[in-house]
Structure 1
Amino acid sequence: MFASEVLRSVDNMASKRSNTFKVLLASLAVAALGYVLRSPSLYLRRETKSSLGYPKDSLLNFTELTAEYGYLSEEHKVLTDDGYILTMFRIVKARNCHRAKRSPPVLLMHGLLQSSDSWIDSGPDAGLAYLISDACYDLWLGNVRGNYYSRGHVRLDPDKDPAYWKFYIEEIGIYDVPAMIDYVLNYTGFQKLNYIGFSQGTGTFLVMCSEKPGYCDKVKLVISLAPASRQMHTQSKIFRTVTQTFYRMEGLLSMTGLQEVFSKGGFSQEFVAFFCQLSGVTERLCEKVIDAFDHVDSTHLGSITNQTTRVLFGHFPAGTSVHNMARYGQSMNSGRFEKFDYGREQNLVLYGSEEPPQYNLSATTVPVMCIYGKNDGLVDTRDVEWLMAQLPNVLEMVKVEDPQWNHMDVTYSQYTGDTIFPKINEYLLKYTSA
């Protein structure tokens, strides 16, 4: 179903060279189907990829890529209460900051299927990690369980133990986000930090506030970028189809041993990374697939450069669990922000009620500033406005002036320095010491 949605969505946009595009689309669709499987990696050495024309930035990890542009980064390991080993990065020296770091520290959290790399893939003139660091904030970047930076565990092997993958936003919110907050505060000696969450990065913060009393008190300010809670009005047909397919088929997939999806390093991810840099035609095709996936308005011209597209597919998607994807499919069927619905009988056993409990949004007492876009096909403006109406301490809701601003633009647009960073910086300064 995923492949057919990609074919239909992109085919409607292609008016010229239709026969060529159909062949290319068929090739990409085969790779898209392969994403569903944790297939063996077709490992190519970095040198081989470089000789094939891969962009250098797509081959580098976080510390290497930031160093390439004059930024010094550290890697930190964080242990959660349930045994997951997470990787965090800290940019300790920015290229354009020539004063002492501002305090308190800032924690920047990625969205679904992303990693910390998503904040630097668009380069030093546009990547939010670079822009925030250049403004002299002490920036930390998290990676949640299941992505390629955070596949460790004290006893479970993600390649062998299905139990590793029995998580969704609930566990990320209860264990991962608190562990990273505690680590940053313990390491830096501050009592509070400022938090920036994109999409799932906000949703899991809301889960934490609901399920971990007292943790909201460790945060001075939340900057919420395209926040994902309920997704009742999601307009992306591809995302809706994919996630709801996982929801309907989760039991069958588990029986076949499928627990991890959209992983970096599998055969299909390697294929798409190769395909999207193969030629100008394939680059444009990959851009059209992103457009079809994300935009409400299909006339969108795009603010993600060709170079960024080629780089991001070296790091994206970063992997997650089938269970987490199924939860997103489920969220599109409900007008509530709630826990996983296991069905009436199992809900009674787990929750003591026939319906899954709602997360307590009123527990998010920390001040919240929200930025969102009109052309977001994944997190619809109606769901954003619904969420903000439930929170008790919303400072401001900012709809990006560009009517074409969409979900992926938050991390990959070439225009973040002009569109969303000024407002982010404005609020960070309000809640930051000199």
Structure 2
Amino acid sequence: MKFDVIRVSVVVIACQLALAQRFPSLQFTKPIRVCKEHQPLQTNVSTDPFACTKEQDLNSRVKDLDADKNIVQISQENGYLIDSYNVTTSDGYILTLFRISGGNKSPARKGKPAVLLLHGWGNSCEAWIALPNNKNIVYMLADGGWDVWLGNFRGSSFSLLHKTLNANKDLKYWDFTFHEMGLFDFPPMLDQVRTISGLDKIFVIGHSQGVSSFMVAASELPGINEKIHAAFLLAPVVYIGGAYDTFVPPLLSIINTPGEDLLYRIVQGRIQLRNPRLLFSALRIEPHDICQSQVLKCGLCDLNALIPNVFNPSQMNYTNIPRIVSKLPDYGTIKSALHYGQIVRSCSFRYYDRGTRENIKRYGTKEPPSYNLKRVKTPIFLYYAEQDAWVTPPDIQRLARALPSDTLIDVVRVNDDTFNHLDFVVARDANVLVYKPLIQMMIKFNNRIKTGV
């Protein structure tokens, strides 16, 4: 009887999430919100579900030979020197970092400024190379003379090992959120970069959940700030009270209910997004066929219906979808998703809410404590998008006010009214709208450091 109840509950939750994604109009009854909901700027962007097929017809059958290759293969075949390093956290997780120390345009040498990139939820470091090689930020930095390091948080496909736990068998392995990523993952990755590069301080670039983890570390571990020149934070998921993505209503419906633990246990702590090849094989489709008319009936190309409100269709290069599909999805951790749901509902950036009794036991208070952002001393650059369905402009304003005035250096709005959350890593013009000006700002900041101005 108990099993039947659990099974029915899971089916209801799964259907609610799936339907809300596929049909945004089916929002269901919205749970009580503490924050005032944000109304996005109205634009004239077409949401034509056949846009990908039309564009594919115009561009013919474009096959990206790198779509099925990993970051090591792509880097080596394009003349970049790439190495991997393992670090072990204090709680036993074994993480992998990749270092691109040079390439044909900028050979490896000592003294290069180092930068560590932190990926978002449901991604690994390969999300940073979802765009073609001449447009993604990884190779732009490497070509520009930077010592590039790519972090992989616990639970991503490159960091699934643990000293005692098995990610495939032990549910306890997945009992973490971005809180643990910030407290336990970021510090050893940061120190590894400093040790190998021989530098006292480095730069940090984070996207989405990578920013959440960074903020946890910078606020809870004050010494971290002394090791970073500056942090460039894209789509910073910190305050998200105005989030309006279609996942939000069904997610909030289970927040602070037994549904949290139920969902966590049934899906074994994570959502497997990593291997789209399995889906392609089952449908007898090759990745380069994904936007052809013969697969339109499968709905694979209709990304605006599958993941609405997280990227802008007018900024999507549909001929690049095979590469995006193979590089962007990874493992999505349930506890982090639930933690974000709690943040949306409470309108605050705070510890994981484990219920009154456990909160008192762990934190000494009925409600979980908030992260004290006034402790963040690293120079901060915030980058936000007007149409970001998770981090709205009012949320950015609140974050800017929460940071110390001498810490916040700049708040940068992407110069495109239609730019969205995932556009920071998949938009066709991300190199022009975000990466080039960001790298120029990093160079300017680094020059000031060298000259002591």
TM range (shorter): 0.7 to 0.9
TM-score where L is the length of structure 1: 0.83
TM-score where L is the length of structure 2: 0.80
Q: How does 1:93-108 map to 2 (within 5 A)?
A: 93-97=102-106, 100=109, 103-108=112-117
Decide which of 39, 42, 67 is 2:76's aligned counterpart.
67
Mean CA deviation greater in 132-141 or 269-278: 269-278
| Preserved contact between residue 102 and residue 108 of structure 2 (Cα < 8 Å) | no
Q: Does 1:182 align with 2:191?
A: yes
CA distance in 2, matches of 1:320, 1:175: 19
1:251 equivalent in structure 2: 261
CA distance in 1, matches of 2:370, 2:284: 39
Q: Does 1:386 align with 2:391?
A: no
2:413 equivalent in structure 1: 399
CA separation of 1:409 and 1:98: change in aligned 2, threshold 3 A: same
Q: Does 1:2 align with 2:47?
A: no
Aligned alpha-carbon RMSD (Å): 2.9
1:328 equivalent in structure 2: 340
Decide which of 205, 224, 238 is 2:247's aligned counterpart.
238
Letter in 2 for 1:155: T
Mean CA deviation greater in 182-191 or 139-148: 182-191
Mean CA deviation greater in 242-251 or 300-309: 242-251
Letter in 2 for 1:412: V
CA distance in 2, matches of 1:395, 1:273: 51
CA distance in 1, matches of 2:64, 2:162: 32
Letter in 2 for 1:426: Q
Letter in 2 for 1:84: Y
CA distance in 2, matches of 1:128, 1:254: 34
- Structure 1 unmatched runs, 5+: 22-52
- Structure 2 unmatched runs, 5+: 1-15, 28-45, 54-61
Letter in 2 for 1:429: I
| Preserved contact between residue 54 and residue 274 of structure 1 (Cα < 8 Å) | no
Deviation string 1:177-231 (CA, Å, 9 cap, x unpaired) is: 1110011111111111111111111111110012223111111101111100121
2:303 equivalent in structure 1: 287
Decide which of 93, 99, 110 is 1:84's aligned counterpart.
93
Deviation string 1:15-50 (CA, Å, 9 cap, x unpaired) is: 789xxx9xxxxxxxxxxxxxxxxxxxxxxxxxxxxx
CA distance in 2, matches of 1:273, 1:417: 34
1:130 equivalent in structure 2: 139
Deviation string 1:377-403 (CA, Å, 9 cap, x unpaired) is: 121111112111111111111101111
CA separation of 1:157 and 1:214: change in aligned 2, threshold 3 A: same
Q: Does 1:364 align with 2:380?
A: no
1:417 equivalent in structure 2: 431
CA distance in 1, matches of 2:284, 2:197: 38
Decide which of 354, 361, 372 is 1:342's aligned counterpart.
354
CA distance in 2, matches of 1:254, 1:362: 33
CA distance in 2, matches of 1:182, 1:334: 34
| Preserved contact between residue 247 and residue 326 of structure 1 (Cα < 8 Å) | no
2:364 equivalent in structure 1: 352
SS in 2 for 1:140: strand
Q: Does 1:312 align with 2:321?
A: no
SS in 2 for 1:224: strand
Q: Does 1:428 align with 2:442?
A: yes
CA separation of 1:72 and 1:11: change in aligned 2, threshold 3 A: farther
Q: Among the aligned pairs, what percent are the same residue?
A: 26
